[in-house]
A and B are shown apart, each in its own frame.
Chain A
Amino acid sequence: MSIKVRYFASLKESIGRSEDNLEFADLATVGDVWQRANPNKVLPDNSLAAVNMDYVGLNSPVKDGDEVAFFPPVTGG
């Protein structure tokens, strides 16, 4: 399956990339996506995740073609 992964703000800076394109058959959850894309880095505790631009938890399932995003707490307004 093919998953596009996006990173924003301080998380993007700390990993040094704004996106990844993953091609793996065995990605089941959002947490799996993070681990596969960043095998040597623990996702910071307060991070937020989204699938197809909706907030989800790390145990949420992913499917082929999804866009998964990881980012720190939001600070707009």
Chain B
Amino acid sequence: MHESTKRFSYPYIVWISIIIVIPMILIFFYSVIESSNNQMAFRFTLENYQTVLEPLYLRVLWHSFIIAFSSTVICLIIGYPVAWIISRFSVKKQSTLLILFIMPMWINMLLRTYAWITILERNGVLNSFLALFNLGPLDLMYTDFAVILGMVYNFLPFMILPIYTAILKVDQSLIDAARDLGASDKKVFTRVMLPLTIPGIITGITMVFLPAMSTFVIPQLLGGGQYMMIGNLIERQFLLTGNWYLGSAFSMILMVFILISIWIMKKFDSDDVTQKGKGVFPK
């Protein structure tokens, strides 16, 4: 290709500067200023960040982390065996099974979450079912349980897919070799399978944890109006109270949090896999 084709990228560079870089700078800018009555006047301050550190908000941040973390762990506990089981079927069945698990992803996420309200609410499907056995009714809606359930349901495919891909990549002869050398099933799993599928696990964790941390739809619908995660806090600051300064500060915190987790996972990923990978595949 001719060198001159690189000029095709110039309009895009201008575009991303306007529509990606400037807005990000705006968020940062708003997070460190304080308005005064005069529209144009402002002064720099760290007060917004001080507000974030108030116990009330810190508790919300901690709560978001715990909920996102639990959802990720549950996704991993369910996702790994599922990915494993899928990979044991014949190729044709595998694709059918995979589609069964991915299909919900093609249905609008709000509808999927909404479906859970129908199931969990007081007069919902689950309680009607329990009533047949004279059990319940259980108050499941508007609890941590409902929120975590919604997250696991929505994000599980993101855990299954990368792990499944990683499992498929594992050379069957390595497992056979381990068996021939006398490894037990448990050993085969912990010494061969698990290390080789770590890249998939890391990707899965990232792809579940990050959206779980920042979503505001699932907590809003399944946790109820008073339920707070960091996403809801940001939404409120912008749409309800109109405090852009505090909202921006929360966004900056969320952004930093996410960049740190991506960085940690990348590091984890490259450290672990390249070293162990080298041991297995001396290329």
- A and B found bound together: no
* Contacts from B to A (Cβ < 8 Å): none
* Contacts from A to B (Cβ < 8 Å): none
